[in-house]
Amino acid sequence: MPFSKLTSQPNDPLLQLITAFSEDPRPHKIDLGVGVFRDALGLTPVMRAIKAAEERLLASQKSKSYLGPEGDKGFVKAIAALLFGSSLPDRFIDGIQTPGGTGALRLAAELLVRSGVKRIFLASPTWANHNAIFRQVGLEIIAIPCFDIINQSFNLAGFIDTLATASSGDAVLLHGCCHNPLGIDPTPDEWGIIAQHIAKLNLLPLIDIAYQGLGSGWSEDAFGLQTVLAAAPFGILTYSCDKNFGLYRERTGAVYVTSPDQEQLDCILSNILCLARTNWSMPPDHGAALVRLILEDKELTHLWRTELEEMRRRTLSLREDLARLGQVGHINLAPLTQGKGMFATLPLSPNQVEWLRSQHAIYMAHSGRINIAGFRDGDVERFGTALKSLIAAGVA
């Protein structure tokens, strides 16, 4: 019988959370689960720069014909110029467009396996889909416990000690900035030490950057990736425009590789194109075309950068608001100002998360991860009240 060996798979917890939130009739419900940027009213509007670019695209686009498996080359080059600039003078760089950052990660994972890589090291916890993608292609995952959630800090020594057990040719996954789900990034000095060890151990870095511009600033958020890729002979970088261009549903991303010489780069890129052809053949173009149009025009670039900075400052302001709640039972919110980007993880048990949902209509992942950009005006105060109620109720 066809499909008789299949077993039903559990629903994605985040997707379940989205459905549950939408069906909750309580007027003051708070959605801290889904990872999208929201304004003070709880809306995720289309960026003004994107709207302007769509008007230009509508007027100028003459065809919907295929672009090829590499996608929009102008988009790929424009993002690369912003990402790398002149920071990698000794490296040859190229890449292709992908269906979102997830498509880029899938392509990178398959490239690792095709290259003979067996293991990938990653700081734990990480974005849940990282583990799913790497396991799906057959990579062995070595988790590195190196975060202190209570104090919202990164344990560099712990990270390096575990990384030292890697073998030459192993891969290591790094979050370029604004770590998801913790929002805890290495300092510039720590990035330098990490880069030195990766080069010394002859590891292949895979850097995932999905939130550039939402952490410390556009250039600052690229410091880590530039430092690591300058130290390692070869590297892979996956990129997403979901958050910093607000192109969530357009699935706009890219994958890049760096190499010490053009001949090896050409060989790597030919394999990436082959893998892309068998995965999705040609990537969707709409989002990439919009990003290209924005980055080719000074006025649109200025408008987009202004909007992005407004988003960054809103998230930073929300972190400061949360930090002012201080210590609530075992939960110390003050260290949240040390984090970067949209996400943070609080020391809450699954039972406590469920209680906050049932009693106060606060929705978040069972891990305690919250999307800081999900707070509307007035929500932080209600969140603080709910935490106090949680502690008073003695929920473990």
- Residue 10: the pLDDT is 87
Q: By three-state DSSP, how is residue 31 classified?
A: strand
d(CA 59, CA 228) in angstroms, rounded, equals 42
Is 340 among the residues known to form the active site? no
243 is catalytic: yes
Residue-range domains of the chain with CATH = 13-45+312-391 (3.90.1150.10), 51-296 (3.40.640.10)
Contact 36, 295 (CB under 8 A): no
Please say whether the dihedral angle defined by the alpha carbons of residues 272, 278, 282 and 287, taken in this order, is positive or negative: negative
Residue-wise over 159-192: b if at least 16 C-beta within 10 A, else e?
bbebbeebeeebbbbbbbbbbbbbbbbbeeebbe
Grouping H, G, I as helix, E, B as strand and the rest as coil, residue 69 is coil
User: pLDDT, tens digit, for every residue of 104-147?
Assistant: 999 999 999 999 999 999 999 999 999 999 999 999 999 999 99
Tell me if residue 119 falls in helix, strand or coil.
Answer: strand
* Residue 178 dihedral angles phi and psi, to the nearest 5°: 55, 60
Helix locations, the chain, DSSP H: 13-23, 48-60, 73-84, 100-114, 128-136, 156-163, 188-201, 223-231, 262-279, 286-296, 298-323, 350-360, 379-393
- Answer for the pair 147, 123: CB distance below 8 angstroms, yes or no: yes
How many Cα atoms sit within 13 Å of 116 on the Cβ side? Answer: 5
**DSSP strand pairing (204-209 vs 235-240):** parallel
pLDDT of residue 1: 78
Written as one string, the DSSP assignment of 200-255 is HHT-EEEEEE--TTSSS-TTGGGHHHHHHHHHSSSEEEEEE-TTTS--GGG-EEEE
* Chain center to CA of 33: 15
Catalytic residue among 31, 243, 285, 340: 243
Cα–Cα distance between 369 and 184 in angstroms, integer? 12
Tell me if 160 sits within 8 A of 197, measured CB to CB: yes
What is the Cα–Cα distance from 114 to 252, expressed in whole angstroms? 24
Q: Crossing angle, helix 223-231 and helix 188-201, to 10 degrees?
A: 20
Question: Among residues 31, 72, 94, 127, which one is catalytic?
Answer: 127
In the annotation, is 161 catalytic?
A: no
Q: Which residue has the tokens 């292949």?
A: 204
β-bridge mates for residue 332, sequence order: 327
Give average pLDDT by consecutive 10-residue segment, the chain, 396 residues. Answer: 90 86 95 95 96 97 95 97 92 98 98 98 96 98 95 96 97 98 97 98 98 96 98 98 97 98 98 97 97 98 98 97 96 96 97 97 96 96 97 95
Judge whether 245 and 78 are in contact, CB under 8 Å.
no
Q: What is the pLDDT of residues 238-267, one digit of tens each?
A: 999 999 999 999 999 999 999 999 999 999
Rounded to 5 degrees, φ, ψ at 235 are -160, 160
Determine the Cα angle at 76 with ends 73 and 81, to 5°: 125
| Residue from 72, 94, 208, 221 carrying the catalytic annotation | 208
Rg of the chain over CA atoms, in angstroms?
21
Tokens 């880029």, located at residue: 104
